[in-house]
């Protein structure tokens, strides 16, 4: 029997962000949003009050979840900050790290043989939530790594002042972006636990078990 999260307010971010170049083009990524939606679903089933900030994904809204749809990293940041205060923030979205410096109001016409785009860094929503005056009690991040998973994940845990980070190794079959299955290793200051390989539904449930344990400390 899963433990109740009744009375807890949980903000989950999920899916990709799309950074517009002009009225018809954008820079995006292959995040399906499935992991974040599975977490939002599982948290609502445990009676948490869940706000799901979703990038552009065609997934149905989980039952009893408040969904706010956004497109860009800037919009996601605004929606997440507006949803504070909360007991818990889970940043499962694949937020674009860079966005075009300028968005053209009209369709960019082809001209030369090459085209150079200038991109600027987006604000790190996860780090901002973790250092916010209204910081949730627990801030959980995600990391997609192709190598040295533990080292990179622990570095992000420290650098962004997180309570936990869930790392998945991308580029291996049966896990990651588009799959219904996943395998994660969750790291915190004095421990770690491997979850899966299993369905994203199962992983979401096990991740919430770990989080509930931490909230009790």
Give residues with Cβ within 8 angstroms of 52, minimum separation 6.
Answer: 12, 13, 14, 36, 37, 40, 61, 62, 65, 66, 67, 68
168 is catalytic: no
Closer CB to ligand CTP, 73 or 203, in the complex: 73
For the chain, the 3-state helix, strand and coil shares in percent, each to the nearest 5, are 25, 30, 45
Residues that bind ligand CTP (CB under 6 A): 13, 73, 91, 93, 95, 97, 122, 124-126, 141-144, 156
The distance of closest approach from Cβ of residue 160 to ligand CTP in the complex, given in angstroms and rounded to an integer, is 7
Closer CB to ligand CTP, 64 or 84, in the complex: 84
The distance of closest approach from Cβ of residue 106 to ligand CTP in the complex, given in angstroms and rounded to an integer, is 28
Cβ–Cβ contacts within 10 Å for residue 115, how many? 8
The distance of closest approach from Cβ of residue 126 to ligand CTP in the complex, given in angstroms and rounded to an integer, is 3
Closer CB to ligand CTP, 37 or 142, in the complex: 142
The distance of closest approach from Cβ of residue 90 to ligand CTP in the complex, given in angstroms and rounded to an integer, is 8
Closer CB to ligand CTP, 108 or 119, in the complex: 119
Which residues are annotated as catalytic? 29
């Amino acid at each position: 029997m899963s433990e109740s999260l009744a009375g807890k307010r949980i903000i989950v971010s999920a899916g990709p962000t799309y950074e517009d170049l002009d009225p018809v083009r954008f820079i995006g990524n292959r995040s399906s949003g499935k992991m974040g939606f599975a977490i939002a679903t599982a948290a609502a089933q445990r009676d948490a009050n869940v706000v799901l900030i979703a990038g552009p994904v065609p997934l149905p809204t989980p039952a009893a979840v408040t969904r706010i749809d956004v497109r860009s990293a800037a919009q996601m940041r605004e929606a997440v900050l507006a949803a504070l205060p909360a007991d818990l923030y889970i940043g499962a979205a694949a937020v674009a790290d860079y966005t075009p410096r300028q968005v053209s109001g009209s369709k960019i016409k082809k001209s030369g043989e090459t085209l150079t785009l200038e991109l600027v860094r987006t604000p790190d929503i996860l780090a901002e939530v973790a250092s916010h005056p209204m910081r949730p009690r627990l801030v959980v991040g995600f990391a997609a790594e192709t190598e040295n998973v533990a080292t990179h994940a622990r570095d992000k845990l420290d650098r962004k002042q997180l309570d936990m980070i869930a790392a998945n190794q991308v580029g291996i079959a049966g896990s990651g972006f588009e799959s219904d299955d996943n395998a994660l290793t969750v790291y915190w200051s004095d421990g770690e636990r491997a979850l899966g390989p299993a369905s994203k539904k199962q992983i979401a449930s096990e991740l919430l078990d770990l989080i509930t344990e931490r909230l009790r400390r």
